[in-house]
Amino acid sequence: MAAVSTPESQENLHQSSESFVSRGGLKLAHALDTFALTPHGMTCADLGCSTGGFTDCLLQRGAAKVYSVDTAYGQLAWKLRSDDRVVVMERSNALHTEPVEQVDLVVIDLGWTVQKLAIPAAARWLKPDGCIVTLIKPHYEHTAHTHDRNADIVLTPEVAERIAHDTVQQLESMGYMCDGLTPSPVIGGARQGKKRKGTGNIEYLALVRCSS
């Protein structure tokens, strides 16, 4: 199993917090740096794009094209939807959307979706030598077992890390390879609207590849 890398300091994050349309860009930028990935010239897919933090990061790192997929409508930031490199795929469920073409890199930030469902959906988009960067949300994985989406859960760091490792092991048992795992430098949410200021759940970013 891949070793866990340490995220950058919060001070550095605050200095760059205005670089992207949402803080999701900070999460992906950290993963790309940690895993030594450059999307320059790549065709990519962003599953669960929302406002477009991941898409924005990919474009700023030189991606040639990004398919931005989300079930919502009208959420993607205007500067991204008006960018010729972005193919907007709104009102599209990433778990069931057929790939338009095979891509080099898939990035994932899907709400209330466990990794055992998200990764196979992403793998359909990949070229044989492509890879996936996915945001693992331990509180989502935990909630999937308790079947209570209304639970206002803030996991301890120890529990979050254990669930992240368990999730990676589950993916490996499904035939995928995890080449890296790192805590997100940005704290994720508890239940929307219920989170107290300064609290939240630790999330992890994983580098995943399909077995050859």
What are 163-183's pLDDT values in tens digits?
999 999 999 999 999 999 999
Q: Calculate mean pLDDT across residues 152-167.
A: 93
Question: In this model, does residue 6 exceed pLDDT 80?
Answer: no
Give exposure, 49-85, as e/b (b: 16+ Cβ within 10 Å): bbbbbbbbbbbebebebbbbbbbeeeebbeebbebee
Helices (H), 35-156: 53-60, 78-81, 115-123, 138-146
Q: Looking at the domain covering 10-210, what would its CATH class be?
A: alpha beta
Q: Calculate mean pLDDT across residues 109-129.
A: 96
Of 59-63, 105-109, 148-152, least confident by mean pLDDT is 148-152
Segments making up each domain of the chain, as ranges: 10-210
Token code pair at residue 69: 């997929």
Confidence class of residue 188 from pLDDT cuts 50, 70 and 90?
confident
Question: In this model, does residue 8 exceed pLDDT 60?
Answer: no
pLDDT recorded at residue 145 = 62
Q: Which residues pair with 206 in a beta bridge?
A: 134, 181
Question: In this model, does residue 73 exceed pLDDT 60?
Answer: yes
119: nearest Cα among 106, 128, 130, 129? 106
Confidence class of residue 189 from pLDDT cuts 50, 70 and 90?
low
pLDDT recorded at residue 11 = 43
pLDDT recorded at residue 90 = 98
pLDDT recorded at residue 211 = 84
Could you report the per-residue pLDDT of 80-90, keeping only the tens digit for each? 999 999 999 99
Of 52-56, 91-95, 101-105, 185-189, least confident by mean pLDDT is 185-189
Confidence class of residue 42 from pLDDT cuts 50, 70 and 90?
very high
Q: Answer whether 0.95 is exceeded by the pTM.
A: no
